[in-house]
Structure 1
Amino acid sequence: MASIFTKIVNGEIPCYKIAEDDNFLAFLDVNPNAKGHTLCIPKKEIDKIFDIEDDLYLGLMAFSKKIAVALEKAVPCKRVGMTVIGLEVPHAHVHLIPLNMMDDARFTSKVKLSDEEFKALAQAISNQL
């Protein structure tokens, strides 16, 4: 069965898209730790990050870096943190989280945004690419 991320890649489920290329997709997390919390995924469904073949893995890291640089320009923060956990969705993914305090990276508190706020934020980050 396809993961929720594969359904997003295939256009079956909408997302707040920031960027994509032939191999990767970046979109806002709909249950964000902080404003601008972004997910970067390979379009190919691979369960575990370290099961990704080397070239695709390095490509995901380069793609994530590009998104992180744009994210830091668009969302005021001390830095953009990166984490790979991958327990909720069986599809490798990188979390990029604007950090102002350590709690932003702990997945213990969430921020709420309206549909309009998500759309404006995705566009603001995308504009920095």
Structure 2
Amino acid sequence: MSSVFSKIIAGELPGTFIYRDDTVVAFLTIEPLAYGHTLVVPVEEVDRWTDLEPATWVHLNEVAQEIGQAITKAFDAPRAGYIIAGFDVPHTHIHLFPTSKMADYDFSAAIPMDQTDPARMTAAAEALRAELGTDASGRR
């Protein structure tokens, strides 16, 4: 059975993409720790990051670093948070988000999906795409 992320990648479920290539995609999460919270996901469905092919792991992190830099610029954040949790969806993914303190790393403080502001989500995606030079599909 496909993960929810595989369905988003395949276009079977909606996703707000900010980056896409043949190996890695990045899209906004629906329950962000902060506006701009992005998930960086390999196209290949692999549950645990420790099971990824080394080349995929390297590329995933190169993309994460680039998006992290875009996050700090787009949101004037002192840092981009980076978390691999891996329990909510059985598909490797890296959480990236604008942050200024360790308290921001608390998933229990995420904005519930039904309480996110659609306009702020759209603005966050547009700001990140502008920094990355990507279109609405995440492609350059």
* Same-fold status (TM-score > 0.5): yes
Equivalent position of 2:46 in the other structure: 46
Where structure 1 has 5 or more consecutive residues not aligned to the other structure, the ranges are none
Quick one: distance in 1 between partners of 2:78 and 2:67? 16
Query: Is residue 33 of structure 2 the alignment partner of residue 33 of structure 1?
Result: yes
Q: Look up the match of 1:126.
A: 129
CA deviation after TM superposition for structure 1 residue 10, in Å: 0.2
Cα distance, 1:104 vs structure 2: 0.9
SS of residue in 1 equivalent to 2:82: strand
Deviations 1:63-116 (A, max 9, x none): 111111111111122200111010000000000121122121121212343222
- 1:110 equivalent in structure 2: 110
Amino acid at match of 1:12: E
Shift of residue 123 of structure 1? Answer: 1.1
TM-score of the pair, normalised by structure 1: 0.95
**Same amino acid, percent of matched pairs:** 36
Number of matched pairs: 129
Per-residue CA distance 1:29-52 (angstroms, 9 max, x = gap): 110111211100001100000100
Task: For 1:35 and 1:126, locate their aligned partners in 2 and report how far apart those are by CA, in whole Å.
Answer: 14
The answer to whether the Cα contact below 8 Å between 1:103 and 1:109 also exists between their aligned partners in 2 is no
1:64 and 2:67 matched: no
TM-score normalised by structure 2 residue count: 0.88
Letter of the structure 1 residue corresponding to residue 63 of structure 2: F
RMSD: 1.1
